[in-house]
Structure 1
Amino acid sequence: MAEQRLLSELCSICNSNAPKYRCPRDAVRTCSMACHRRHKQWAQCSGERDPAAYVKKSELATPAGIDRDFNFLTGIERAIERREREAEEREESLRGGRQVRAGFAPVPGSKYWRRLKDAGVVVDRAPKGMSRQRQNRTRYLNRSQCICWTIEWVHPDQSKTIDEIKDTTPLSDEYDALVKRMEKKRKREDEAVKKESTVVSPTPETSKQVKADSSQKELDKTLDQNSKAQSTFIPATRSTSETELQNVANLDGQSNPDGNIQTDTANDAQPSADFGAQTMSAEIKTESIGSTQQYHFYLVKPHTATAKHVLIPLPRQGTLDKCLRHQVVLEFPTIQVLRESPDRIPEAFMLEAEYVGKEKEDETEFKQLVSGVAVPSTDEVPDDGKVDDRKIIEVLQQDLSNSASQ
């Protein structure tokens, strides 16, 4: 007679064969891949190891524990590489097959590198993976023989826009083009919102027309009912219904001699307070980004020891190949756009000349403070700078003996 096995010693799915596999997720034992797939389907199991699952301390420093940690780390690395590869493929497809790497550093000796070196531009690279490093698409254009800079525009309302401009194009022309693109985009968004509001919510004129139609239907229905009633009750019923309907009509409009209800259109010609506020805000928004002739451009200086933004004035018709000479930028330039001229900028900003003057004052004050501090004497230190080990041991022994006697 064949020996019967316990159910715990058999496959947990078919209960007929000895188990060969163990699920990494919940340790369910199965005999084949078919049973394993059936287990994942029945238990809604992903079949992947849970990195947050509790592991005993005694199981950490074991070959299985080391393999588990190693597989977890390599899995993260593979996932990151896969996501980066997919992002590069998407970017390449969007740019028509021309791939632009993020945070591309110029190769020493290349045209890009020589152009930056000749202009004295120092580009500080942000750590890999930071948002500013990922946004950087600065590159050298061989056809135009110029650098296409990624640039961060900071508008007067402190909103930011990432754009790409050539270093041979005036700043005012590039900002004018950017403003026009933003206005077109805003108009398209406003038109889309208007279409949605027209479909979803009725206008005030439509609501009043619906009320007038409903009042007219109630009047006709009441008149039909009164005409079928007895003649002795016609005057009283008719006068009462007309009075009630007249009161209803007075709420929504005025009644003419023919009995038709006319809505009051005098109020329709005047916009409501909400409409005026929306129009006003739209005008303010358009004005804040509108005409660029009154704007001034400033280069934001990085790595400053002050809470204020340090600005370097730039000419309106200046180009980046001249404006960035002997300047330091963090990955790519940041240009602040303000209505105020350099002689009356807001308090949240500071010009470079003022910042340099304050830095010199602080340095002078620091030197004066240091000069007043007494420097300890170094007579006991040998001239050769070496320390005698025997003297140190003698001093330590003397301290120990003094503490023991106390």
Structure 2
Amino acid sequence: MADQPLLSALCSICNNNPPKYRCPGCAARTCSLPCYKRHQQRAQCDGKRDPSRYVKKNQLATAAGIDHDYNFIAGIERGLDKVDRLMEESSIGAVERSTKMPGRNSNFEKRMQEAGVVVDRAPAGMSRERNNHTRMANIKSKKSKHLIWTVEWIFEDERRQLGELSENVALSEAYRCLVKQPPHPSKKRKLDPEVPATSSNQQSDQQDPTAEPKDVQLKSEPTEQSGPLQHSGAPSETRALPPEEGSTRSYDLSRQPGKPYFYLVKPHTSSDRRVLAPLTADAQLSTCLQNRVVLEFPTIQILSTPPESLPPTFQLEFDYLEQARKEQVELEQLLASVKPPPDGMPIDGDVKPETGTTSVADLDDKKILEVLRRDLGTRF
């Protein structure tokens, strides 16, 4: 009798084996899955841990306590993602997308065709498609109608920033409005994350009467280098958060030395480098986008180096097209140098072509070249 274990040390269901598992909901100890199922039926337990249950202070800073908190936060994120997916797949998401992106026969698409811009649409639900707020300006006069583009600015430190820019505004003017954005607060003074940083923008607009605050609106996109930003419903309001802990980098754009050079990023390239097309700083955005292809909205690279001395991670559009043309010429020469086998010669050396089938000699060289071009999918 002394060797027999106590009932409290055995499974609470079968009382035969030592327990191996603990119920997350009521902490009942069981030895196997069948016993756990019987426990759920008897006690009407759902087996889910109550996140509002009291936890002792000495149990918070443990592996189990941290794991519980992480699972609770991850569950909230999964629920939000599930709601977003359901909205995109349901009729609500379809109505929002149809309102956001008018049809091809609408005035919006006609204005895009008049501007000479080819817009490649990203798949629905992608981040670039959701961030695209390009639209027609809400002006009653038809003569004053113009496009307000969503523009992605990329700086030399690879920090990205989204903004809204009228097609009638020059790039230099847009950059001046960009550098007027207030820098992140210093360590001595911390901003409340819930206070929008719009007062300094209004003050700078009063100092410069040439600025167009309604057409040039900027908001930061959270990246790995920069801290997150919170946005309100209006796209013109930008809420700044303090910089991340341990970050020593300052993003005061007004301190960037030298004259800025603007480049349009070319999408859909086969190069491992970023292909850039030089832009004129005093040119309007509508002029810069003529006969250009953009992915949802234009992406503009800002560098301090001229086109003649680009860093090795970038490539000019002219050099990229010239390299592609040379590769195409080499391919055509290679195909021209290949001679078809003589008539009657077996294709594989053993099997002769059947009667009534087309031999290699009967094929047209131009047709072969056309098929190869189609398979390679080279675009110029």
> TM-score under structure 2 normalisation?
0.50
The answer for the alignment partner of 2:305 in structure 1 is 340
d(CA) in 2 for partners of 1:376, 1:145: 64
The aligned amino acid for 1:192 is: R
- The 8 Å contact of residues 103 and 136 in structure 1, kept in 2 or not, is answered as no
The answer for the alignment partner of 2:327 in structure 1 is 362
d(CA) in 2 for partners of 1:191, 1:378: 87
d(CA) in 2 for partners of 1:129, 1:327: 24
Q: 1:141 aligns with which of 137, 143, 162?
A: 137
Look up the SS of the partner of 1:142 in the other structure.
coil
The aligned amino acid for 1:341 is: P
Look up the SS of the partner of 2:152 in the other structure.
strand
Q: Does 1:106 align with 2:102?
A: yes
Please list the CA deviations of residues 353-400 of structure 1 after superposition, one character each: whole Å capped at 9, or x if unmatched: 1111111111111111222223345764666869xxxxxxxxxxxxxx
d(CA) in 2 for partners of 1:180, 1:119: 29
Superposed CA RMSD:
4.1
CA 1:77–1:158 in structure 2 vs 1: closer, same or farther (change >3 Å)?
closer
Q: Identify which of structures 1 and 2 has the higher relative contact order when contacts are C-alpha pairs closer than 8 Å and 6+ apart.
A: 1
The aligned amino acid for 1:125 is: R
Stretches of structure 1 that go unaligned for 5 or more consecutive residues are 1-24, 47-74, 90-98, 196-280, 387-406
Shift of 1:78: 7.6
> TM-score under structure 1 normalisation?
0.47
d(CA) in 2 for partners of 1:155, 1:132: 18
1:390-401 equivalence runs, <5 A: none
d(CA) in 2 for partners of 1:103, 1:326: 26
Q: Does 1:173 align with 2:173?
A: yes
The aligned amino acid for 1:364 is: V
Q: Judging by fraction of residues, say which structure has more helix.
A: 1
Shift of 1:167: 1.1
The aligned amino acid for 1:316 is: A
The answer for the alignment partner of 2:295 in structure 1 is 330
Please list the CA deviations of residues 129-178 of structure 1 after superposition, one character each: whole Å capped at 9, or x if unmatched: 22222221212223151111111101122211111111111111112212
- The 8 Å contact of residues 103 and 134 in structure 1, kept in 2 or not, is answered as no
d(CA) in 2 for partners of 1:101, 1:179: 33
The aligned amino acid for 2:189 is: A
Shift of 1:191: 4.4
User: What is the total number of aligned residue pairs between the two structures?
Assistant: 228
Shift of 1:192: 2.7
d(CA) in 1 for partners of 2:316, 2:37: 64
- The 8 Å contact of residues 134 and 147 in structure 2, kept in 1 or not, is answered as yes
The answer for the alignment partner of 1:192 in structure 2 is 189
The answer for the alignment partner of 2:279 in structure 1 is 314
Bigger Rg, which one? 1
The answer for the alignment partner of 1:374 in structure 2 is 339
CA 1:357–1:176 in structure 2 vs 1: closer, same or farther (change >3 Å)?
same
The aligned amino acid for 2:273 is: K
The aligned amino acid for 1:151 is: V
Please list the CA deviations of residues 249-284 of structure 1 after superposition, one character each: whole Å capped at 9, or x if unmatched: xxxxxxxxxxxxxxxxxxxxxxxxxxxxxxxx77x8
